[in-house]
Amino acid sequence: MSNEVEPAKGTGVVLLTLAAGQFLMTVDMSVMNVSMATVASDLDTTITGVQAAITLYTLVMATMMITGGKLGSTIGRKRAFVIGALVYGVGSAVTAAAPNLGVLILGWSVLEGLGAALIMPAIVGLVAANFAPADRPRAFGLVASASAVAVAVGPLIGGAATTYFSWRWVFVGEVFFALLLVVLARFLHDAAPARREPLDVVGTVLSSAGLGLAVLGVLRSSEWGWVRPNPGTPAAFGVSATFWFIVAGGLLIAVFFLWERRVIAAGREPLVDPGLFRHRQLNSGLLMFSFQFLLQAGLFFIVPLYLSVVLELPAVETGVRLVPLSLALLATAVGVPRLLPHASPRRVVRAGVLLMLAGILALMVGIDLSSDAAAVAIPMLLVGAGVGALASQLGAVAVSAVPAERSGEVGGLQNTATNLGASIGTALAGSVLIASLTATFLTGLQANPVVSEEVKTQASVQLAAGAPFVSQTQLQELLIDAGVGVTDSQAIVEQNEIARVAALDSALAVLAVLALLSLFATFGIPSRPVGSEPAMSSG
């Protein structure tokens, strides 16, 4: 049976189904982030325990995406989508009923993570299977925009559920959402795989271990330090465990590709064909995906911090302030393919990067000691338009680089690239933020003649590993509990306010530099619209 598929009829329902799947996969994280304190209290655990569950959820997805993509190509992408939705639904039910942290980890981190690893690569392959090449930019744009909408409304959903009902009801709702995906999946068109090969188990272990170690190192970098270890954190030979985890992960990935070449030489089916990476267009698409999600995750880390910690807005209002980003993203993701169907993908991607850069710079200018929530409105519109422009092109660019039957594998690689980018973006933004906050705060405190020498000494010792990014209200409560005098307290609060703005600017500056660097990755993006020429071969 041929692997070529005809675009399905009823593509409106198909698009709704795939976008809904993408929305569900993304909304979970933002819901859990705003509900951490309540979840920890309900399960009689700590914030650190809930953060560990979030880390494990990210790890499961990052390590299993390639395998999930390959399974979709082997058993059929539609079947992988349905199985993934069922696993995700079971995980949501377990999470909703979780009596303790261990069950939460089983349901949310493991089962939902595995479900997502099946669903997300399948979505990429199903877009390719249900839409003609010329229609894919719009389809990929809409599916990708569902992620950003989920990130923006996640705090609204999580904040409202946690405040007025219970965080558990969010996961009860996800059970029904997952079942709805299973029902709607009957409208999805997919060709049966031509042949089924045994899964490359050794390759699966090597890729999962390599990606897992690298991502874990990145996720723990804020606590452990990138190279120089923070006090009291794991290290070897005077170097942070983060560095060693990333190096070990990289070495395992190198061994993985050597193994894959051996598998191909033996005439067996590899988990990933290294030959895919000879496609310059695919490489550029994957690299741009990493940059997009790096910048996107960094901004979604910084902006909510500004709104919820600096301005002390509640979770629901923080979510409302992010809505302009989603609206702009949706408008651009839909509008560019519809209004400019013959536009050069390379130019659209570059325009998207420049719009994101403009948004980052506008945030740097707008955020100061006297600014309010209105400072994020225009930057969010610019960033949203930029992400929408990228979303309208990158999915189609990556998939069109290879034959249609390889789209599931590309989906696994694409989602691995986005997970890596998002992990690095959050970790890098957090590391720069804390480093800048600590340096600015301690320097300002030491230079302030009003602050007593005893307080200066205590601050230098206690904040050596990093100053916490806290609100003025939280800081004042901490100072009262510590018995710090009125004069010292006032000086500390004022210096904290200055240091927070400097820290936000430093993190944004790093993202601005990375946005500029990402422009170099656009040279492999095709200049002609996807669908106007055959898929590239190699080189």
> pLDDT tens, 209-268?
998 888 888 878 877 888 888 777 888 888 989 899 999 999 999 999 999 899 888 888
How much is the average pLDDT of 3-22?
70
User: In this structure, which topology does domain 273-539 adopt according to CATH?
Assistant: Growth Hormone; Chain: A; (1.20.1250)
3-state secondary structure of 239: strand
* Terminal CA-CA length for the chain: 30
Q: Most confidently modeled of 186-195, 370-379, 444-453, 528-537?
A: 370-379
Return the HEC string of 326-368: HHHHHHHHHHHHHHCCCCCHHHHHHHHHHHHHHHHHHHHHHCC
Q: Is the pLDDT of residue 82 over 50?
A: yes
pLDDT at site 47: 64
| Closest C-alpha among 494, 491, 484 to residue 449 | 491
**Is 1-188's fold the same as 273-539's?**
yes
pLDDT of 195 reads 64
- Rounded CA-CA distance 130/124 in Å is 10
Task: Give yes or no for a contact between 231 and 465, defined as CB atoms under 8 angstroms apart.
Answer: yes
At residue 464, the pLDDT reads 65
Q: Could you tell me the residue ranges of all domains in the chain?
A: 1-188, 200-270, 273-539
Report the distance separating Cα 305 and Cα 54, nearest Å.
18
The structure tokens listed for 356 are 């994101």
The pLDDT assigned to 361 comes to 95
- Per CATH, domain 1-188 is 3.55.40.20: no
Write the pLDDT tens digit of every residue in 483-495: 777 787 888 888 8
Residues in the chain: 539
